[in-house]
Amino acid sequence: MADAYIHITFLDLAIALVLVGVAMAISRWQRLDLERDMGIGTVRTFIQLLAVGLILQQIFDADRWYWVLLALAVMISVAGWNAMKRQAGTRRGLFLLMTIAIFLGSVLTLAIVVGVVLRVRPWYQPQYVIPIAGMIIGNAMNGSALAVNRLRSELQLRRAQVEAALALGASSRQAAAPALREGLRAAMMPTVNSMMTVGLVQLPGMMTGQIISGARPADAVRYQIVVMLMIAAATAITTMSAAFQALRIYFTPQHQLAPHLEFGSEWDEYLRQGGRAGKSVL
C-alpha cells in the first residue's frame, strides 16, 4: 500500500485555492465581509505551514534531543501566550499560569504515550515526538483557555453567592467550587463530544492522514484511539491545573474576591498606571 501515496505539488496547492475562492464568493454574495480575513488567513496558512515544514525537516534531519526539546519549549510557550490572550479583563500572571498548566498536562501525557505506549527508542525521535506533542499541546491550550475564561465569568455571575460563602467562613476554594466545576465542565465538553462522535460523525485528522499515506485502516484506528485517550488526559490535567492556579489570581491571600473581578476595565487601567490613578477604584 506504500505505492498508494499521492505526492502533492505546488501546482496542486494552487489549484486547491479554488476552494477558498468558493468560500470568498459565498461571503461576498451574502455580504458577510469576510473576504479580507479569508485572504489574509490563506496567505498566513501558506507561509506558516511551509515555514514549519522547513523547520521540522531540519529537526528531523538533525535528529538531536536538544532540538526536539527546544521545539517543545517553543510550542508550549506559544500555546501559553495564546491561551492568555483569549482571556478577558486583567491578564497579570496568566501567561505563567497557562504555560505551567500546559507544560504539566502535556509533558506528563507525552511521556506516557512516547515512553510506555509507543515505546519510542530513542525517546527523542522527532518523527513521533513533535507531531504527538503538537496534538497534545493544542488541545491543552484550548482547554486551559476555556477553563479559566469560564471560571472568571462564573465568579462574576455568582459574586453575591461567593461573597456570602466567604462571609460564613468558607475558604476561597470552597466558595468557588460551583464556578470551578462549571469551568472544568466547559473546558472538557469539546473533548467529550469528540469522543462520543468519533468514527460516526467525523474521521479524525491523524487517522485520515495515515490512511491516505498508505497505512492499513486497522493500524490507523489503533493510533487514533491512543490519540483520543491522550487528548482527554492532557486536557483534564491541564484544565484542572489552570483552574486551581487561577483561584490564586481571582482571590486574595485573605480569601476575598480580587478587585479586578468587580471593577473590570477600571482596575486594568489602575494597574497600568502602577496603582497611581487619580481616582481610586478601591
Cell (9 digits) for 2: 506504500
Is the pLDDT confidence value at 281 over 50?
no
Count CA atoms within 13 Å of residue 35 on its CB side. Answer: 11
d(CA 212, CA 236): 31
pLDDT at 4: 59
Provide the pLDDT confidence category of residue 254 given band limits of 50, 70 and 90.
confident
Enumerate the domain spans of the chain. Answer: 1-62, 64-272
d(CA 112, CA 116): 5
Provide the pLDDT confidence category of residue 3 given band limits of 50, 70 and 90.
low
The model's pLDDT over 141-176, given as tens digits with 9 standing for 90+, comes to 999 999 999 999 898 888 888 889 988 888 888 999
d(CA 177, CA 158): 11
Percent share of the chain, pLDDT over 90: 51
DSSP letter at 3 equals G
Is the pLDDT confidence value at 269 over 80?
no
